[in-house]
């Protein structure tokens, strides 16, 4: 048997490889994740050398390189003291099913090829739509991440606006955002869609509020105002964790006949927590909504749920026409690729669905509530610490604060020491141009004791 034939055949070697990888995965699932640390290019080159060669290394050596050299150079985002950026803490059930998904070679773009997968994903999307308060006909798709979800929603919004204008385009299309709107939204609008970004000033906590939106719009030139087709509200900003005035924004949107998109990539999961529900008043008025299950809904990377109030708008914008696609573009069948800019698609909502099916939605509610409780306790510890100052009163589970008297280099040294000692990953950030730091708490295994230890380390 030639080398290329063996690549796709079940052989004693391939079976041994599968067993070794299965054992490695099971060991990783069972262990308390090590924090680990990045390595320099020179360190990796010295330890790993050339890994892609003409003859191949063989499975045993390739796995050894990953286990001993390359894997430990990847920080474990599911570590309970990984508190930088927005962490991820997938359930064991979700990660286990992700292994099955990888082994199954499922194409998740059409009903024809993956009706069972699409049915399951749509069950998970229905739960999210119900949390938002969207109508029974709402639906959408799981896409790669919030960047693709936001872009797909805003493309659909522009197509909807164009149809309402009978195909007459304005001088320039425009979308209203605020300073705390995620950078990927602004990048997608400017670079991908070639749309003007109108940045509305936030309030003292960085929130986009309806009254300010109305005032700024009234001051625009008629040509600038004519091009607005959507407003992006954020349900949990990445840096500060605050929720925009969605209801007030929705009032202005309704007055002008625009599209309301709600970016809940991080914070939207808190809709599952009764204690936080009131923060999201008006979210049920959204025309489109996203949330990333790989953030606070305990799914593995990468997964974003995009839900449309009226899926027909997403379908009209994104269905691709080609002769070879005719067998899958059948009326009445739900093809996920018809609702976003992606055609080729992994069924990336399945690990989330499986974990929901295993544990039930009440477990998700309780897990999100627990992380909120830890964040509230952490905020109080910061308020009580004489060497710290809480900079923004938290809405959700992001705590942004400063160490009184520290400069940039001291934050950097502290962060580097925590990582070097394998204690935590906590990185500096900025608020109003001043360096500070933040804890982003989405892992139910993060404890108040963890927060207290990190606070004490700043004395």
Would residue 89 count as lying in a domain?
A: no
CATH number at residue 257: 3.40.640.10
Q: Are residues 165 and 200 in the same domain?
A: yes
Would residue 92 count as lying in a domain?
A: no
Residue at a domain's end among 24, 51, 71 = 71
Q: Are residues 163 and 211 in the same domain?
A: yes
Q: Are residues 436 and 393 in the same domain?
A: yes
Q: Are residues 322 and 378 in the same domain?
A: no
| Distance separating alpha carbons of residues 353 and 122, to the nearest angstrom | 9
Helices (runs of H) and strands (runs of E) counted in the chain = 17, 11
Q: Are residues 62 and 120 in the same domain?
A: no
Would residue 175 count as lying in a domain?
A: yes
pLDDT at 209: 98
Q: Are residues 153 and 278 in the same domain?
A: yes
pLDDT at 252: 98
pLDDT at 7: 85
pLDDT at 13: 87
Task: Report residues of the chain scoring pLDDT below 70.
Answer: 1-3, 321-332
Collapsing DSSP states into helix, strand and coil, what is residue 129? helix
Beta-ladder partners of 439: 399
Q: Are residues 273 and 290 in the same domain?
A: yes
Provide the domain limits for residue 340: 99-359
Would residue 305 count as lying in a domain?
A: yes
Q: Are residues 29 and 109 in the same domain?
A: no
Q: Are residues 150 and 163 in the same domain?
A: yes
In total, how many domains does the chain have?
Answer: 3
CATH number at residue 433: 3.90.1150.10
Q: Are residues 130 and 35 in the same domain?
A: no
pLDDT at 329: 52
pLDDT at 321: 65
- Of 112, 101, 184, whose CA–CA distance to 337 is shortest? 112
Q: Are residues 217 and 324 in the same domain?
A: yes
Q: Are residues 249 and 369 in the same domain?
A: no
Residue 31: partners with Cβ closer than 8 Å, 6 or more residues away: none
pLDDT at 332: 64
Burial letters 141-156, b for 16+ CB under 10 A, else e:
bbbbbbbbbbbbbbbb
């Amino acid at each position: 048997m030639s080398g290329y034939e063996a690549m796709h055949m079940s052989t004693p070697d391939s079976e041994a490889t599968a067993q070794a990888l299965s054992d490695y995965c099971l060991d990783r699932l069972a262990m308390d994740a090590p924090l680990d640390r990045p390595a320099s290019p020179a360190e990796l080159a010295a330890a790993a050398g050339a890994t892609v060669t003409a003859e191949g290394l063989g499975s045993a050596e390739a796995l050894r390189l990953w286990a001993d050299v390359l894997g430990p150079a990847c920080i474990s985002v599911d570590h309970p003291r990984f508190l930088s950026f927005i962490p991820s803490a997938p359930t064991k059930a979700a990660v286990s099913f992700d292994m099955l998904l990888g082994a199954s070679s499922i194409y998740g773009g059409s009903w024809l090829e993956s009706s069972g997968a699409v049915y399951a994903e749509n069950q998970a999307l229905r739960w999210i739509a119900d949390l938002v308060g969207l109508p029974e006909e709402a639906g959408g798709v799981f896409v790669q991440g919030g960047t693709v979800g936001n872009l797909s929603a805003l493309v659909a919004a522009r197509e909807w606006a164009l149809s309402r204008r009978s195909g007459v385009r304005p001088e320039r299309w425009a979308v209203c955002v605020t300073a705390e709107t995620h950078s990927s939204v602004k990048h997608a609008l400017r670079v991908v869609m070639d749309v003007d970004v109108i940045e509305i000033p936030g309030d003292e906590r960085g929130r986009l509020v309806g009254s300010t939106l109305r005032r700024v719009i009234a001051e625009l030139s008629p040509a600038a105002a004519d091009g607005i087709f959507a407003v992006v509200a954020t349900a949990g900003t990445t840096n500060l964790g605050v929720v925009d005035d969605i209801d007030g924004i929705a009032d202005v949107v309704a007055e002008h006949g625009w599209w309301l998109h709600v970016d809940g990539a991080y914070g939207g999961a808190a809709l599952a927590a009764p204690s936080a529900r009131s923060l999201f008043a008006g979210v049920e008025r959204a025309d489109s909504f996203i949330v990333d299950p790989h953030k606070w809904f305990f799914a593995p990377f990468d997964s974003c749920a995009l839900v449309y109030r009226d899926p027909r708008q997403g379908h009209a914008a994104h269905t691709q026409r080609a002769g070879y696609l005719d067998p899958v573009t059948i009326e009445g069948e739900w093809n996920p690729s018809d609702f976003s800019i992606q055609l080729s698609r992994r069924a990336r909502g399945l690990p989330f669905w499986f974990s929901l099916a295993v544990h039930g939605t009440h477990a998700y509610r309780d897990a999100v509530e627990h992380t909120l409780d830890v964040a509230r306790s952490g905020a109080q510890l910061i308020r009580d610490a004489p060497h710290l100052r809480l900079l923004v009163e938290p809405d959700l589970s992001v705590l942004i604060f400063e160490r009184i008297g520290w400069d940039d280099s001291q934050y950097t040294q502290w962060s580097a020491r925590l990582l070097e000692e394998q204690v935590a990953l906590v990185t500096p950030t900025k608020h109003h141009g001043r360096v500070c730091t933040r804890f982003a708490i989405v892992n139910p295994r993060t404890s108040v004791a963890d927060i207290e230890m990190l606070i004490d380390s700043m004395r």
